[in-house]
Amino acid sequence: MNFSPHKKRPLFGFYLLVAYVILQFVWWSYLMIELNNEIYHLKTELNLLKGATLNDVVLNGNELNAKLHKRWVMISGEGIVFIGILLLGIFQIRKTFKREEELSFQQQNFLSSVSHELKSPIASTKLQLQTLQKHELNREKQKEIIANAINDTERLNNLVENILLATQIENNFYSLHKENCNLSEYITEGMNQTIASFNYKQKMVLEIEPDVYMDIDRINFPSIILNLVENSVKYSPENSTITISLKKMNEKIVLTVSDEGSGILDSEKIAIFQKFYRIGNEETRKTKGTGLGLYIVNYMVEQHGGTISLKNNSPKGSIFEITFSDM
């Protein structure tokens, strides 16, 4: 990931400070060794001046030499420990810098994309209402414009709900209110309403096994399916097929959303569930989104006691597979 030069300045300053500390430590070590050598030679000369015999001078010299060697070992050992701790600290601080830079970069991308996502449906709805106000249109054209305005309003509503839900999750304000539900009917009814409301350019296929029951939070469980469907729609070509499947397998409930889109690289299959993460960058990306959808999906799946995985579809595309315990 590339960062602007002004964002690298704190890290450069940190490296400069570390270099200064290391140079000072090396200089301190050198002075300590020189001081010990000087003390050794001075004590030897002092013994000679006191008129000690040659044998005593040799014995004292050996003793002083042994002490000098121990001090060198002590200084070297302390130096190695100091350098090791310093390098470990540098590594950890560098990781923190990089993580903060990446988070800042993602947040800036989020603010940029969410501003666009908010403005677009508002501007579109305003234009459509002004068209109805200023022009005498036939009934069919009025219905078309009203339908488009409703779609834009629904899109805006979904965006706001995602932002509010992500905020609740981040601040630990979210709590589940589960109740037993016929998940088959719940998904079928919800998706039929969604398909009727939005003029999808892809073919939506429901493969729902009847009478699959599960304890869910009725208010927020739909965010799992809607965000996965929205993700598939964004990255799938026109006239391709998006399939929503629900079935029971080996005492598990398996919900999948598969598409025939561009697919996702293996290196990004884990990262896509992180908050604010989006494939590519905001300058080259043409698809809409804020990087919150799959983050919310992953959280909601975990809260419902499930796990989510991402697989490659054949011949192309992605399969999001969610597995819940059959409770």
Are both 198 and 102 inside the same structural domain? no
Are both 182 and 314 inside the same structural domain? yes
What is the token pair recorded at 106? Answer: 């993602």
13 part of a folded domain: yes
125 part of a folded domain: no
**DSSP per residue, 235-302:** TS-TT-EEEEEEEEETTEEEEEEE--SS---GGGTTGGGSTT--SS-TTT--S---S-HHHHHHHHHH
State the Cα–Cα distance between residues 121 and 198, nearest whole angstrom: 14
96 part of a folded domain: yes
Are both 228 and 307 inside the same structural domain? yes
Q: What pLDDT sits at residue 40? A: 62
Q: Which residues of the chain have pLDDT under 70?
A: 1-11, 14, 33, 35-69, 71-72, 75, 105-117, 278-290, 326-327
- The total number of structural domains in the chain stands at 2
The residue from 51, 86, 107 where one domain ends is 107
Are both 198 and 293 inside the same structural domain? yes
320 part of a folded domain: yes
Q: Which amino acid is at 258?
A: S
Q: What pLDDT sits at residue 81? A: 79
Q: What pLDDT sits at residue 283? A: 38
State the Cα–Cα distance between residues 207 and 241, nearest whole angstrom: 12
283 part of a folded domain: yes
The residue from 73, 107, 141 where one domain ends is 107
Are both 84 and 184 inside the same structural domain? no
What's the burial of 282, exposed, middle or buried (CB within 10 Å: 0-12/13-18/19+)?
Answer: middle
Are both 87 and 189 inside the same structural domain? no
Are both 198 and 306 inside the same structural domain? yes
CATH number for the domain harbouring residue 311: 3.30.565.10
The residue from 92, 107, 122 where one domain ends is 107
Domain ranges, residue 48: 5-107
169 part of a folded domain: no
18 part of a folded domain: yes
Q: pLDDT tens digit string along 181-191?
A: 999 999 999 99
Are both 101 and 191 inside the same structural domain? no
258 part of a folded domain: yes
Are both 194 and 303 inside the same structural domain? yes
Q: What pLDDT sits at residue 30? A: 72
Q: pLDDT tens digit string along 33-66?
A: 676 666 666 666 665 555 545 455 455 556 656 6
Q: Which of 271, 278, 324 is nearest to 302 (CA)?
A: 324
Q: What pLDDT sits at residue 84? A: 79
Residue for token pair 């500390």:
21
Are both 207 and 300 inside the same structural domain? yes
* Cβ(155)–Cβ(200) below 8 Å: no
Are both 191 and 96 inside the same structural domain? no
Are both 204 and 289 inside the same structural domain? yes
**DSSP per residue, 195-206:** HHHS--SSEEEE
